[in-house]
Structure 1
């Protein structure tokens, strides 16, 4: 976390000394977090064709919807299919984001796919109807699966200090990386401060390396006493990458940085976690 003079709480702490654990800021009104309503800024899957039945709404990419309760993403609104796991059960979509969204047959953004342009409504094709496992927001630049930067944080703590980098990274793991129940105790270990996330990842079998990919959690374990974590949302052909983060340039708030590189520098990152 970036130290901002001496009065600020360091962002990577697992316990907030001067920051209450109850969030005081709500998510942007244009995209409520998974409430079963298809709001502006969200990509929505429907249980039935022609945008009918129960809705499951998303604000980012999901690499695996999950197949069983209680850990799967489910259809949330009233109607046919409410409470059913989304995986292999969706029939139609509405893309209310500003990005093209690609729906995949397999988890991990693999297999047959179908693209939905910004604003598009449509039925899944015969290959993907009731056979979909992941979706990806495609970036407007940088190529491949780069994701546009957006502050969709729900301000939940998940066992970390409120509005710190760890809480934001935990939200992205839960909302975009196929681990909806991720928390400070996920996998039976304590994830703790940002500078211990790479150690926790190794303990539970999450891949740790130095290769940035979209959706990786970048770990800095050299900054101060607590380190820093961020979400990689874009990777470029020269090996540099962009991150989204909390409590680095902006105190207890969202920010982005562009064209970083893996290095030992205190303002960079040394590890990449691949959930």
Structure 2
């Protein structure tokens, strides 16, 4: 056998060996390709892990609802090419972390957890009603959920989050819909209540002071419940008001302004047209109380 032929035979043998090794190696998480590889979390279009697959290696806070920008089912089978939002029926969690599937975008609303390695169907609430998922979900509750004790709320302006309004925003604005129950986020004693009225000139206020934390949480723009009075002891989660537009120009801009102040206070700090922040960033406080600023 000549040298050229010997090299060709050796090369072919090496290629076969390499191919065999490649074939034997287990699949691992890679680009989203519609195959549920090790390390991935996968949504299935049908129940019992049937139909097209959409595979992920991390958290997604909003799947999107329209092509071409949405996350879609990529694998072969029923559902291929459809956006996964509100279309998934089962999952396989091949990652080494717990993954939580949520009813709403931004990791909010009802949810179902899947431990590492778990396969299963989405429950009746989440089947075809999935909007986001989160790897290693936090045990904290989103402020927008806790304030209204139901899904559908969202943060509309964060702390110091003004973009077109002059001044520095001293709290967090959260909105859901006019008439939604507003719940106390922290227990304490009511130090001030102003009923206010709808429209830009009728600002309402509820101030609740927690002596052990030495913090006052202030709620603006709501319609305070008639039974809430100065001196009342308020428990965490207690209904104290309804969402409204007291001190806001129109009902379409209704929201609840939630503000954290140091010490015992009765009124909110000035935000609009005030260039100086009086309150500290509340993120660490809310986190310590079991909340995410979402």
Say whether the fold is shared (TM-score over 0.5). no
Which protein is bigger by CA-based radius of gyration?
Answer: 2
Name the TM-score, length of structure 2 as normaliser: 0.39
When you count strand as a share of all residues, which structure comes out higher?
2
Q: Which has the higher contact order (CA 8 A, sep 6+)?
A: 1
| TM-score relative to the length of structure 1 | 0.42
